[in-house]
């Protein structure tokens, strides 16, 4: 390992040197042939990653929160009613955006450590007609993964559009838009796709695009996807200057995804999650998230009483690994460890050794070497 810290927060995730080299290339014209190629090929790869044959992809300068806002603004009419299926902190953010723009909405939420059951969603949809259902696939605060396919089957029985926040899942966990009936997936570059932050990413189904075209107007200019649609079809046209270097790096990042194979990438995320959790369990560290609701992209770990949050994370950083603290009600009670994107077996071994070293420094009792051994044994299966 170099003097750089291994970044294992729930995004941004570690970036491969080949992607960083592209990011560092000289800036080219935002309407030149290099950008046309990078953006067009990226749009094609993006549709493959979310299994959407005829939808419209959008890659726009901004954050995951901007993508969330754009997804709502371009699919919801002021007269619509929205159901927000909240698995935690970022479901609450969807509700806040709805409130900001005056969208009528209800919230269906679960206990913090588990997902809303599909049966509860079905019951709620039977009580009231909704024009959109918005769901966080993986909540980065709680580590909860929604049962997305089960939700899709339920939503398809209603007239509602199904909008999925894939920020901590797209490219690491399946989101099969066409076969499951998902209308919108929005995400960002910096998590499972393994690219530095800076891009808002969306894919809309034909049905979602039809809804946008049927809206008379939306309260946005930059966020209006109809203004961006001609650019996605022909990047040599101009609407607003994109972040050129980031898009070219994103193109390289998606090439990495396609070279690995998207199905193989999903399986690798599952294997790596199992390995890290095996290592944590060997160290007697418990997970916050209920067993049936855990994402394969991050783990939320509960501190034993004898460990202090800040002391643990500061010492772990000194040992070469950065993890995140809790968000919201879990702040100070947990640390959040990302394992997504282009993580390697060597990095997992390094991280487990650093955790053991940290626990030893803080005089937490465990069997030395047990965490590393358990993680590597799991990976070897």
Q: What is the pLDDT of residue 182?
A: 98
DSSP 336: E
Residue from 62, 111, 120 nearest 91 by CA: 111
- The SS3 assignment for 274 reads helix
Peptide bond into 296 cis (omega under 30): no
* Residue 335 to residue 323: CA distance in whole angstroms: 7
pTM of the model: 0.96
Distance, CA of 104 to chain centre: 26
Residue from 7, 142, 3, 140 nearest 65 by CA: 140
Residue from 340, 189, 339 nearest 276 by CA: 339
List 145's β-bridge partners, or say none: 138
Mean pLDDT in order along the chain per 10 residues (381 residues): 81 97 96 96 98 97 96 96 92 94 95 93 97 96 96 97 98 98 98 97 98 94 97 96 96 98 98 98 97 96 96 98 92 97 98 98 96 97 85
DSSP 369: T
Domain ranges for the chain: 6-12+261-379, 17-260
Cβ atoms 184, 160 nearer than 8 A: no
Which sign, positive or negative, has the C-alpha torsion 25, 29, 33, 35?
A: positive
Cβ atoms 199, 367 nearer than 8 A: no
Evaluate whether the domain defined by 6-12+261-379 bears CATH number 3.90.1150.10.
yes
Q: What is the pLDDT of residue 3?
A: 63
- 143 φ/ψ sector (left φ>0, alpha ψ -120 to 50, else beta): left
Please give the backbone phi and psi of residue 239, each rounded to the nearest 5 degrees, phi first. Answer: -130, -55
Which sign, positive or negative, has the C-alpha torsion 275, 281, 285, 289?
A: positive
CA Rg value for the chain? 21
Q: What is the pLDDT of residue 89?
A: 84
* Residue 337 to residue 30: CA distance in whole angstroms: 36
Q: Which residues contact 44 (CB under 8 A, 6 or more apart)?
A: none
Q: What angle is formed at CA 253 by the lines to CA 250 and CA 254, rounded to 5 degrees?
A: 90
Residue from 39, 61, 54, 17 nearest 256 by CA: 17
- The SS3 assignment for 31 reads coil
Q: What is the pLDDT of residue 1?
A: 39
Residue from 327, 323, 297, 8 nearest 169 by CA: 297
* Residue 15 to residue 7: CA distance in whole angstroms: 9
Range 17-260: architecture per CATH: 3-Layer(aba) Sandwich (3.40)
Count of Cβ atoms closer than 10 Å to residue 329 Cβ: 13
């Amino acid at each position: 390992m170099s003097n750089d810290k291994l970044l294992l927060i729930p995004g941004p995730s570690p970036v491969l040197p080949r992607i960083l080299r592209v990011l560092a290339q000289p800036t080219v014209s935002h309407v030149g042939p290099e950008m046309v190629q990078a953006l067009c090929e990226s749009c094609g790869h993006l549709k493959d990653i979310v299994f959407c044959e005829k939808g419209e992809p959008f890659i726009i300068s901004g954050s995951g929160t901007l993508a969330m806002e754009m997804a709502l603004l371009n699919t919801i009419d002021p007269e619509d009613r929205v159901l927000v299926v909240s698995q935690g902190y970022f479901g609450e953010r969807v509700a806040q955006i709805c409130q900001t723009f005056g969208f009528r909405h209800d919230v269906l939420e679960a206990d913090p450590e588990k997902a809303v059951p599909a049966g509860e969603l079905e019951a709620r949809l039977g009580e009231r007609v909704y024009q959109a259902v918005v769901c966080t696939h993986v909540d980065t605060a709680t580590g909860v993964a929604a049962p997305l396919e089960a939700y899709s089957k339920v939503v398809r029985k209603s007239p509602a559009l199904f909008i999925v926040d894939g920020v901590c899942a797209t490219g690491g966990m399946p989101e099969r838009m066409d076969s499951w009936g998902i209308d919108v997936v929005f995400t960002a570059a910096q998590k499972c796709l393994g690219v530095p932050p800076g891009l808002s990413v969306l894919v809309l189904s034909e049905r979602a695009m039809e809804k946008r075209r049927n809206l008379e107007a939306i309260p946005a200019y930059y966020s209006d996807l109809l203004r961006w649609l001609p650019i996605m079809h022909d990047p040599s046209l101009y609407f607003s200057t994109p972040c050129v270097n980031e898009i070219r790096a994103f193109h390289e990042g998606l090439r990495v995804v396609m070279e690995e194979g998207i199905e193989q990438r999903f399986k690798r995320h599952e294997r790596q999650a199992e390995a890290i959790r095996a290592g944590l369990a060997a160290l007697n560290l418990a997970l916050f998230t209920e067993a049936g609701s855990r994402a394969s992209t991050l783990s939320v770990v509960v501190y034993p009483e004898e460990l202090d949050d800040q002391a643990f994370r500061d010492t772990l950083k000194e040992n070469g690994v950065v993890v995140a603290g809790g968000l919201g009600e879990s702040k100070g009670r947990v640390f959040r460890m990302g394992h997504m994107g282009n993580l390697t077996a060597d990095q997992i071994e390094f991280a487990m050794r650093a955790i053991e070293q940290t626990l030893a420094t803080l005089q937490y009792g465990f069997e030395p070497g047990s965490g590393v051994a358990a993680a590597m044994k799991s990976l070897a299966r």
